[in-house]
Amino acid sequence: MEEGSEVRGKYVADISSIREAEEGSQMRGKYVADISSIREAQERIKSFIHKTPVLSSETLNAVAGRRLFFKCEFFQKGGAFKFRGACNAVLSLDNDQAAKGVVTHSSGNHAAALSLAAKLRGIPAYIVIPKSAPKCKVENVMRYGGQVIWSEATMQSRESVASKVLQETGAVLVHPYNDGRIISGQGTISLELLEQAPEIDTLIVPISGGGLISGVALAAKSINPAIRVFAAEPSGANDAAQSKEAGRIITLPETNTIADGLRAFLGDLTWPIVRDLVDDVITVEDKEIIEAMKLCYEILKVAVEPSGAIGLAAVLSDNFKKIPVWKNCNNIGIVLSGGNVDLGKLWDSFKQ
């Protein structure tokens, strides 16, 4: 390398670091997590997690009319991105806290992730799971040593049972998404992805309770303030889209979607981040999610659960293509968030 090039590279790196520090300082204190807590999480968990690969496909690029970069979080330990946040939360506990164990309520991926993180630290994990949870996700919890406590499917039942377990055990509650430690752990995805594919100008991320997209947006916009961050959401569980439009948290009386991991509502800690840093919400129908799952399987040769495939569904949707201002989203990072799919239901959905 020529000396001038070397100096220019160092100058650009220095400017980038200064810009990141400035963006981080603006966000610090405003939200429950920031670029500093996300980088601390990365150091804390790096020896326990997988640095997941990024896949691409010329075929899917041609279909989308853009370059797509798929962050493969289904290859993460536990089969989903959730292990990042759960691991950060468990490793953040002091010894006295950890000794009593951890409690959560979850329909699956967070439950399995917390069980695995607790197992690695050698502490108990009490997992409240709705009876409607997919069998494969419940089996993951049991495989990782989590103690399953059943609840009804409603959030009220889940929270009530978890509260009772907390009182009985003295364990520490680790919320699936409304927790700064969780948000910071999930934000490490952006640190990896933007290093692996720095040309990315847009990110599309599944949204439910908002823990994943909050961490991703905080980190990405600290690194590159011009980057766009879009949420992908099922039409049958479109509370985030309604919340963005209304300027306040909207909850739904019921949800109806094949994406079982995207049925939660925004929390008071995730909502301010989603409100301020998520540029828009793209809603898609279940049939579009199923088609995206097919494409993942047939072209990328990977099995992705409905909640994980929704980012691809979003970028291929008419809702995304028909907005003129989004035409200059040319290099899109898509978080394929998990692969814990019930194969019986997968085959059934493919027959629709």
Which active-site residues does the annotation give?
82, 107
209: closest CA among 127, 270, 289, 161?
A: 270
Rounded distance between C-alpha atoms, residue 109 and residue 83, angstroms? 8
The two tokens of residue 15 are: 């400017």
Q: How distant, in Å, are the alpha carbons of 36, 187, 206, 257 from that of 88?
A: 14, 11, 21, 30
The contacts of residue 343 (CB under 8 Å, 6+ apart) are 136, 303
209 closest CA partner among 228, 237, 181, 172 = 237
Structure tokens at 348: 């059934």
C-alpha distances out from residue 335 to 159, 205, 304, 305, Å: 28, 6, 11, 12
Helix, strand, coil percent values for the chain (each to nearest 5): 55, 15, 30
Q: Which long-range contacts (CB under 8 A, 24 or more apart) does 14-17 make?
A: 16/223
Separation CA 233–CA 313 (nearest Å): 10
Other Cβ atoms within 10 Å of 330 Cβ, number: 12
Give how far Cα 155 sits from Cα of 97, 106, 107, 162, 251, Å.
Answer: 26, 10, 10, 10, 11
Residue 90, C-beta contacts closer than 8 angstroms, at least 6 positions apart: 98, 102, 114, 117, 118, 120, 121, 123, 174
